[in-house]
Amino acid sequence: MPELITLGEFIFDRQKEFKDATGDLSAVLRDISVAAKIVNRVVNRAGLLDIIGNSESENKSGDAQQKLDVFANKWFKRMMMSSEECCGFASEEEEDFVAFETETGKNAKYLVIFDPLDGSSNIDVNVSIGTIFSVFHRKSGFGSTCTESDFLQAGDEQVAAGYVLYGTSTMMVYTTGNGVNGFTLYPSIGEFCLSHANIRIPDKMPNYSINQGYYEIMTEHVRSFIEKRKAENKSLRFVGSMVADVHRTLLKGGIFIYPTLKTHPKGKLRLLYECNPMAMLMEQAGGKAIDEHGKRILEIQPEELHERSSIAIGAASAVDEFKHG
């Protein structure tokens, strides 16, 4: 058996590469991994526990909340509140951001933004789902609670981003701006271990990923792109969970697109909770991420916590082809 490198060991070793590192960001990432293990344990028992189905509530974006959404949000929020390095938390499942009012919270330097459970409606049919996260430096002064402006930073300001995929195996993939690495949960020891070092997206388009059922309410630009892929006999791949679709794209190449629609003229995915962290990851792996108008996702200045955006993300050549028609 090859030597196992745990997430904790990897984070500690990488921390030594930065002379000004204090260990605070490393601690935030470890806290996220602990919450992910708790969520993973429940996801793997979903058919045996009463956590499948609708919770009979909606989140701020108007989406029906699944019971598992509420559970995952609770645990990620709890872990961030107990962290001494986190000043606040924003979640797709919360109406507003949460500022931590403890003394340590007022003096912490990082804030974390989550989509606690992406694709949660798929849990009923045992399809892969995930968690998406990003980490920012606070902009407000220490000694007071963080403010909304701390959360409304452009994606270029992220100091870390990643996702956890709950599938046939559970993986945590993240970047701190120095490449992308993936860790697979080793159940017998309860640790994430390095399995995918220095991930680079293949610069090719073996397939494309889009919900083609919305074809009639897409723009002409997107429909033209689809028709060209069909003429090339490209395979369509779409899971319906952004984490699963982007994960496949990251490892295999191609492109994932969630465009504007007549029913969602600004796009459907959330800029802060989904697009920004995935865009940082993809760029760090050599890919690109733009909105339907060709603007780089990480340069978009958010104006509200639950702002929506279109996105085309994947291999650089595939995204360029989408951009230029």
Active site amino acids = 63, 69, 92-93, 115, 117-118, 274
Q: Judge whether 259 and 267 are in contact, CB under 8 Å.
A: yes
Task: Supply angle C-alpha 244, 245, 251, rounded to 5.
Answer: 90
Q: Judge whether 315 and 205 are in contact, CB under 8 Å.
A: yes
Three-class secondary structure of residue 15 per DSSP: helix
The Cα 233–Cα 194 span in angstroms is 36
39 burial (CB, 10 Å; 0-12 / 13-18 / 19+) is buried
Q: Judge whether 57 and 112 are in contact, CB under 8 Å.
A: no
Please spell the DSSP secondary structure of 84-103, one letter per residue.
SSEEEEEETTSSS-EE--SH
The Cα 280–Cα 300 span in angstroms is 13
